[in-house]
Chain A
């Protein structure tokens, strides 16, 4: 993994932690992430070879 990608990956984890902290650990943080992943997963499956 390149350094830039490793930094972005660490930033992504920090973003999730920060969002969870901002919402005081409410399950909505996980719920919102799940719905966005679902939409992206459904869309991107059209491009799976």
Chain B
């Protein structure tokens, strides 16, 4: 969790130092509506932006526990370097960039990092506990439900971003 928060805080500091707030709100609204409609409508393409990169085995095999902890925590915890089938993830950096104040931006980025890594940990623990013969099929079905939920969340965020932008005009 700590490496994830650190990565997010660094991103928060970098993006809030630039005057991106208004652009980020517009992009949030557009991105949220576009992928929100696709995900709630069960439309598979275009796929959300993301990485297909995997952590190379040699980075985590035969190395110390501390190094494994840093590699997994900093690459998988923040969510940037792993495959993510839900479009919701990439609205998060936009939300951070939408903040005017760098201090508040870093705080929001830390909260996002903490929420994402905690959710990831709880999800993995829950999935490991529930694993059985049909787990792959169940997992795919749950993933479809989550995709729809992600779509609705994107639409809410898009509405919020649009109204925030409107107040600034």
Contact = CB atoms under 8 A, between A and B. Distances in A.
Contact of B116 (A1, A9, A30, A41): A41
Contacts of A29: 160, 163-164
Interface residues of B, number: 66
Contact of A34 (B83, B92, B127, B152): B92
Interface of B: 25, 28, 33, 36-37, 40-42, 79, 82-86, 88-89, 91-92, 95-96, 98-100, 104, 108, 111-113, 115-124, 126-127, 136, 139-140, 142-143, 146, 149-168
A39 B115 contact: yes
Interface of A: 1, 5, 8-9, 12-21, 24-27, 29-31, 33-49
Q: Which DSSP category, helix, strand, loop or mixed, fits chain B's interface?
A: helix
B164 A13 contact: no
| Residue of B85, B119, B124, B149 with most chain A CB atoms under a 10 A cut-off | B119
A25 B161 CA distance: 8
A49 B108 contact: no
A16 B122 CA distance: 27
A48 B143 contact: yes
Contacts of A34: 91-92, 95-96, 108, 112, 157
Q: Which DSSP category, helix, strand, loop or mixed, fits chain A's interface?
A: helix
Contact of A1 (B42, B118, B119, B166): B42
Contacts of A13: 33, 36, 155-156, 158-159
A37 B83 contact: no
Contacts of B163: 16-17, 19-21, 25, 29
Contacts of B95: 30-31, 33-34
A49 to B, nearest CB: 5
Contacts of B161: 16, 20, 30
